[in-house]
């Protein structure tokens, strides 16, 4: 009798383990498939059908190479041959697939082998890197039932080890909760995203009072709206629900959660599985783009409005021009047009950098001569003094127009953010095999927490309560120009003592 009970327990554990695997296989956002030694696709999940645009019935029974771009087939075939003949798994093969609508999907492919009832199968994960939204890995399906307790126990342990290995290498966080909401399992990625060790996580519930869960708009997320609570109460899966998490002593982060319930053989909900990924960067980028569009609209509207007003006045007096007003209106129109031109140039430059299209026209030139030429208008105006020091004979092989743009941007920033510092010092040095140019002011300085963001795209600095105009692209463009030359760019600053922006260029061609 004990032997029968033991056999029943092992069998139930195996069924539960297989149910967990199937649920996770369908729930994960990583496109996955299982193939046999003939490279025939035996099983696919929902994510793979969405990636390729075909149904599971259409895909199963075909070969993944049937969807591959022609130029990638041979390399993929060689890796498959090594996989099956020499048992050499391959990881992150960069490959191209053709979807049902003939569009291309770029994927990183990982394939490993596993044994099941004496037969070898391949488990493949295709990480969609076309839009950088989905992450990799899925699970293998647990199969087969054995006839006696000893065989079931051995198979169960083997499957649990395999499942654990998959879960521990997934790029998504995975958590399992019981009916009381207590976390019973968290994989390494979940620990990394949450910033907690396994021991600390297992002492928590999915809605722990020590952390604050928020809606994406920043308002408090009620417990009943949490995706894990919804799936446990309704028995329905929840997909791609985004929430914010505010730890007590750390920066707020955002996660996208998929959740599904686990049922016993009687249909009762006994646990819940959640997969989640950190989407903080995606959320910040979206917010930055929204803010940038708003700022760009405002920055363009101001000079265009001024230009329009000047042209309207000029139009009214075209038959009877005023000798006093005409020059002023023309000057005003030109200044407004210059501002629009600068904004458009920044936008085009940022777009070229983003698409990798910026070309450099390098020549030999003396840095000191370039500084004197590009800052001539500042010296003529007389409000600011530019003092150049250091090696006046130091030459570099670079794009003079682009370096002129960098120096002018740094000098203009001194006049903009350190307006009371009437002397701007430019130091030219040879440091090893590089030329170093430093632009220094005696302004208010920059707070440490702001320095790390200065060269980011769309970042707009402020001093105190003053918000300065601009698109937040100037220093980003400077940084990209210097990187394109193989140099470095940085800033040193002390609050109340001023700032030094510097960059380096290789001296050799």
Parse the chain into domains and list their residue ranges.
29-138, 172-278, 283-354, 363-506
**Cβ atoms of 491 and 501 closer than 8 Å:** yes
Q: Which CATH number fits domain 29-138: 1.10.15.40, 3.40.640.10, 3.40.50.300, 3.30.450.20?
A: 3.30.450.20
Phi and psi at 32, nearest 5°, equal: -140, 155
Confirm whether 29-138 and 363-506 share one CATH topology: no
CATH architecture of the domain with residue range 283-354: Orthogonal Bundle (1.10)
Return the structure tokens found at 333.
């129109």
| Full pLDDT tens readout for the chain, 509 residues | 444 554 445 445 544 555 665 666 666 667 777 888 888 888 888 888 888 899 989 988 998 888 888 888 888 888 888 888 878 777 767 778 888 898 888 888 888 887 777 788 888 888 887 765 333 333 333 333 334 545 545 555 666 666 666 666 666 888 888 888 888 888 888 888 887 777 777 777 777 777 888 888 889 888 888 888 898 899 899 888 888 888 887 788 888 889 888 888 888 888 888 888 888 887 877 776 666 666 566 566 667 777 777 788 778 787 777 777 777 777 777 777 766 776 677 666 666 655 556 678 889 999 999 988 887 767 767 788 888 999 999 999 998 888 988 898 898 888 888 878 888 999 999 998 899 999 999 988 888 878 877 887 766 665 544 444 455 677 888 888 899 899 999 999 888 889 999 999 988 65
**Which residues have a Cβ under 8 Å from the Cβ of 72 and sit 6 or more positions away?**
95, 96
CATH architecture of the domain with residue range 363-506: 2-Layer Sandwich (3.30)
Determine the Cα angle at 202 with ends 164 and 16, to 5°: 45
Largest CA distance in the chain: 114
Q: Which superfamily, per CATH, for 172-278?
A: PAS domain (3.30.450.20)
> CA-CA distance, 100 to 446, in Å (whole number)?
53
């Amino acid at each position: 009798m004990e032997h029968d009970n033991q056999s029943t327990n092992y069998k139930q554990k195996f069924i539960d383990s297989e149910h967990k695997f199937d649920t996770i296989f369908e729930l994960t956002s990583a496109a996955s498939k299982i193939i046999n030694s003939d490279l025939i696709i035996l099983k696919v999940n929902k994510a793979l059908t969405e990636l390729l645009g075909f149904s599971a019935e259409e895909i199963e029974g075909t070969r993944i190479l049937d969807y591959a771009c022609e130029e990638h087939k041979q390399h993929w075939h060689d890796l498959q041959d090594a996989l099956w003949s020499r048992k050499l798994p391959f990881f992150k093969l960069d490959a191209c697939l053709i979807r049902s609508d003939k569009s291309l999907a770029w994927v990183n492919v990982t394939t490993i082998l596993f044994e099941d009832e004496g037969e070898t199968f391949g488990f493949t994960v295709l990480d969609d890197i076309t839009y950088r939204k989905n992450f990799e890995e899925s699970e293998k399906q647990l199969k087969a039932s054995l006839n006696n307790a000893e065989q079931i126990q051995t198979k169960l342990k083997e499957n649990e080890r395999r499942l654990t290995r998959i879960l521990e290498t997934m790029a998504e966080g995975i958590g399992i909760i019981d009916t009381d909401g207590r976390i019973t399992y968290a994989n390494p990625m979940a620990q990394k995203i949450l910033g907690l060790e396994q021991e600390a996580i297992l002492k928590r519930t999915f809605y722990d009072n020590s952390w604050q869960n928020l809606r994406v708009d920043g308002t408090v997320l009620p417990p009943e709206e949490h995706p894990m609570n919804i799936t446990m109460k309704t028995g329905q899966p929840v997909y791609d629900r985004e929430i914010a998490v505010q730890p007590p002593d750390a920066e707020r982060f955002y996660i996208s959660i998929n959740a599904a319930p686990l049922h016993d053989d009687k249909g009762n909900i006994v646990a819940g599985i959640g997969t989640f990924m950190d989407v903080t960067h995606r959320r910040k980028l979206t917010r930055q783009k929204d803010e940038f569009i708003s700022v760009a609209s405002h920055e363009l509207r101001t000079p265009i409005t001024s230009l329009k007003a000047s042209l309207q006045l000029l139009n009214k007096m075209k038959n009877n021009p005023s000798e006093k007003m005409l020059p002023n209106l023309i000057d005003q129109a030109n200044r407004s047009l210059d501002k629009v031109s600068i904004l458009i140039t920044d936008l085009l430059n940022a777009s070229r950098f983003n698409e990798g299209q910026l070309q450099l026209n390098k020549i030999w030139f003396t840095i000191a001569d370039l500084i004197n030429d590009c800052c001539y208008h500042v010296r003529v105006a007389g409000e600011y003094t530019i003092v150049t020091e250091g090696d006046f004979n130091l030459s570099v092989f670079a794009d003079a127009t682009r370096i002129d743009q960098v120096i002018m941007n740094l000098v203009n920033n001194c006049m903009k953010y350190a307006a009371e510092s009437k002397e701007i010092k430019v130091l030219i040095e040879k440091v090893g095999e590089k030329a170093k140019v430093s632009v220094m002011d005696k302004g208010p300085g920059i707070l440490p927490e702001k320095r790390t963001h200065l060269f980011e795209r769309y970042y707009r600095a402020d001093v105190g309560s003053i918000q300065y105009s601009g698109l937040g692209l100037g220093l980003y463009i400077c940084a990209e120009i210097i990187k394109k030359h193989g140099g470095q760019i940085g800033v040193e600053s002390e609050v109340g003592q001023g700032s030094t922006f510097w960059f380096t260029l290789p001296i050799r061609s």
